């Protein structure tokens, strides 16, 4: 099953920590881990370094730091609560 509600935000003008933030939704903790596993496999296969993975055990909100890209895989209720993609989008459009 694929990630849902994928949102890629260019944050180049907003922060020096990353060029893009990608937000997506997993339907369950197992699904979120599966998404992260697939991203990790793809990154390793393409020799792209993974700088860190946070939140894998709880799988409510998993962050994958790929340097120029930071991926947030969140459960729907967590994403709705924090609304991070909305906050970064507001900054990107300002």
pLDDT at 89 (0 to 100): 87
Contact at 8 Å (CB) between 74 and 23? yes
* Interatomic CA distance for residues 39 and 5, integer angstroms: 16
Across 86-91, average pLDDT = 84
pLDDT at 91 over 80: no
Q: Is 9 in a helix, a strand, or coil? A: strand
Fold classified for 4-93: Beta Polymerase; domain 2 (3.30.460)
Residue 70's beta-bridge partner residues?
21, 65
Residue 21's beta-bridge partner residues?
9, 70
| 64-86 pLDDT per residue, tens | 999 999 999 999 999 999 999 99
The helix or strand, by DSSP H or E, that contains position 73, with its residue range, turns out to be strand 69-75
pLDDT at 94 (0 to 100): 59
């Amino acid at each position: 099953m694929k990630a849902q509600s994928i949102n890629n935000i260019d944050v180049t003008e907003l922060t020096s920590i990353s060029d893009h933030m990608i937000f997506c939704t997993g339907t369950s903790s197992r699904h979120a881990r599966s998404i992260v596993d697939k991203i990790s496999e793809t990154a390793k296969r393409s020799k792209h370094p993974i700088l860190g993975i946070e939140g894998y055990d709880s799988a409510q909100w998993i962050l994958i730091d790929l340097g120029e890209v930071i991926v947030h895989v969140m459960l729907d209720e967590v994403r709705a609560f924090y609304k991070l993609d909305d906050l970064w989008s507001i900054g990107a459009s300002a």
